[in-house]
Structure 1
């Protein structure tokens, strides 16, 4: 086992707790510093973890110990923080989406290439046993040639539980840019990159009411579409139907289904790492559960950072910036299609990420 990669985190909001827990139990990573606009929040976040410095953003970027910057800021700040890390000669791994716009994301990738540093991006949930077991079933030919998929996320909106949900309803937010990365990254992992999209979208309310926390009852403006649907035409020829909504109440639709000429799969919620994969050949015995056969066992948010940091130089990480850029391009193009009423060709592409073998325990990640 080689030396661990030193990590500096920028942004200590709600999602940071999950990353901190995972980094703490991964020998491939060592957290050395955190930064946040609210230094008290940063101190509170790392209080359970010894030996972690609380710095300003500028100090963290200048810290020679930091090898990779984990960018957990809000989407609107992703590009700014990533460009600072790149300028400092550091690899950077972003929470999803890669940036608020595809144009910003493209600028990040160009800067990284010029600086000869790497960019990676969440979601890493697709590396868990849920999506990876479904990927293996497809690759093994269990369902025959894939022809179609459906992906559905239907909720009333995050303002019910999040104390500061403003960014979910600002540019860079909305159900598509917030939750779409999980679903579209999973679809690309399962079926390959996308060539064309056709979209439609709506916005049901101009304001949302915060449902919990110190701001409970406060109204916030909605400036993005809150129900987005469309069709993704994969280069492989498979068609994926997507529904992402903050305007529903509940649904019994599977999160993801994949249909092939010889069978169908129900794929677990891509917001999680594990879950049961169901398989049917259309016979009377119905659906059977496939045993976990691929993916990181017991994974948590941050395993993608470890996978990224462990990828040898010259190889494309599974959670690469090019994959995240393609997913962002697909989402942005869906919205463009929705507003124009015409299909949109996707100008970007990416490699279908390499599969993950069944790895247990999680600590063995660096051996792959």
Structure 2
């Protein structure tokens, strides 16, 4: 198939793995250009990954050869940049969060529909070998009927102020619900189907952060904590599964966990933020079995969602890491916050179909047989 030419807009830290995979792993993609508000950063990335052109945002939007633009800008401008990309007549794939409000998410999807364009969104880790294997195990009945799930993501947040952009980390979009929980919500929808309603509580240990580390870039400053850094939620799925989720950035280290409980076994799912990890099933007999992968893409394959979108554009099939899936996750996220504020259950009204599983037996780096 003729490769799809793409542009990468935003050349921060996450762009490195996207550029590696989109230039060296996925043959159906061709990275034509990179762009960033800091031209020197874009030029550095272009040299590092042998990308032909360094563009301004305007040049990238106006290049007729570029079919998809990958939006790796800051969370608070994702929706606005996505709309600019669509207005330019190009498909868009965006990093999460898809948007910070339902209204912005709906505007992006409505614009895409009006223009006959596609929208894709991270996270795409659910397309990796570990989560696709877990999907097959559930679909094939290895744990019987799933009825409950438990997820938690507990991690630090550079509370010593050492991060160069520490103030941004205290804002909505970098909080655990918008930043880390989408990996878990997306994985859960992939494994268990859509969510019906949610309830939750949000809070923070601190209302402000005093930077007392002499080596920190903003030593001596006091920074407001503007978003909740600790969240607990209950999710009821259309299937009847009831799940709990804890997401926090108040602590230290990194402690991810996702467990699916079924009538015939318990599935210990690897970290949904990754593409690999040990898969285990606790069986009725009491045996704890380690399960081999049924699918590939076990290395860090961020960008697989872009490759799947490109494949879908060429073949006409639906793409998996879709804007509709991301919109469903946004509805879950905002619903949890609304539930905490109002003390009520919140219905998840954004409809989505469970994304299609990847087929078995794929050749290296291919997404279709």
TM-score if structure 2 supplies the norm length?
A: 0.93
Contact 1:126 1:270 (C-alpha < 8 Å) held by counterparts: yes
Q: What does 1:178-327 correspond to in 2, within 5 Å? A: 178-208=179-209, 215=217, 217=219, 219-249=222-252, 255-285=257-287, 287-312=288-313, 314-327=316-329
Moved more, 33-42 or 177-186: 33-42
Tell me if 1:341 matches 2:343.
yes
Deviations 1:160-200 (A, max 9, x none): 66432333321223101000110100000010010000100
Deviations 1:321-363 (A, max 9, x none): 0000100110010010011111001111201011113456542
Residue of structure 1 in register with 2:7 after alignment: 8
Q: What is the Cα deviation at residue 114 of structure 1? A: 0.2
Q: What is the Cα deviation at residue 9 of structure 1? A: 1.0
Residue of structure 1 in register with 2:176 after alignment: 175
Structure 2 Cα separation of the partners of residues 99 and 128 of structure 1: 24
Residue of structure 1 in register with 2:151 after alignment: 151
How many aligned residue pairs are there?
Answer: 364
Structure 1 Cα separation of the partners of residues 30 and 253 of structure 2: 40
Structure 1 Cα separation of the partners of residues 214 and 244 of structure 2: 33
Deviations 1:299-331 (A, max 9, x none): 511111101110155532110000001001100
Residue of structure 2 in register with 1:22 after alignment: 21
Structure 1 Cα separation of the partners of residues 141 and 333 of structure 2: 29
Structure 2 Cα separation of the partners of residues 90 and 213 of structure 1: 44
Contact 1:203 1:226 (C-alpha < 8 Å) held by counterparts: yes
Structure 1 Cα separation of the partners of residues 7 and 215 of structure 2: 29
Contact 2:130 2:298 (C-alpha < 8 Å) held by counterparts: no
Structure 2 Cα separation of the partners of residues 185 and 212 of structure 1: 39
Contact 2:138 2:144 (C-alpha < 8 Å) held by counterparts: yes
TM-score if structure 1 supplies the norm length?
A: 0.93
Per the alignment, in what secondary structure is the counterpart of residue 357 of structure 1?
A: coil
Tell me how large the CA RMSD over aligned residues is. Answer: 2.0
Residue of structure 2 in register with 1:112 after alignment: 112
Cα–Cα, structure 1 residues 247 and 159, in superposed 2: closer, same or farther, change >3 Å?
closer
Structure 1 Cα separation of the partners of residues 158 and 189 of structure 2: 26
Cα–Cα, structure 1 residues 350 and 235, in superposed 2: closer, same or farther, change >3 Å?
same
Structure 2 Cα separation of the partners of residues 302 and 213 of structure 1: 35
Contact 1:207 1:219 (C-alpha < 8 Å) held by counterparts: yes
Per the alignment, in what secondary structure is the counterpart of residue 246 of structure 1?
A: strand
Residue of structure 2 in register with 1:121 after alignment: 121
Tell me if 1:130 matches 2:133.
no
Contact 2:197 2:235 (C-alpha < 8 Å) held by counterparts: yes
Q: What does 1:31-42 correspond to in 2, within 5 Å? A: 31-42=31-42
Residue of structure 2 in register with 1:85 after alignment: 85
Per the alignment, in what secondary structure is the counterpart of residue 259 of structure 1?
A: strand
Structure 1 Cα separation of the partners of residues 182 and 215 of structure 2: 27
Structure 1 regions of 5+ residues with no counterpart?
A: none
Structure 1 Cα separation of the partners of residues 200 and 9 of structure 2: 34
Deviations 1:263-288 (A, max 9, x none): 10000001101111110114343x11
Structure 2 regions of 5+ residues with no counterpart?
A: none
Structure 2 Cα separation of the partners of residues 284 and 78 of structure 1: 47
Residue of structure 2 in register with 1:331 after alignment: 333
Q: What is the Cα deviation at residue 119 of structure 1? A: 0.2
Contact 1:105 1:325 (C-alpha < 8 Å) held by counterparts: yes
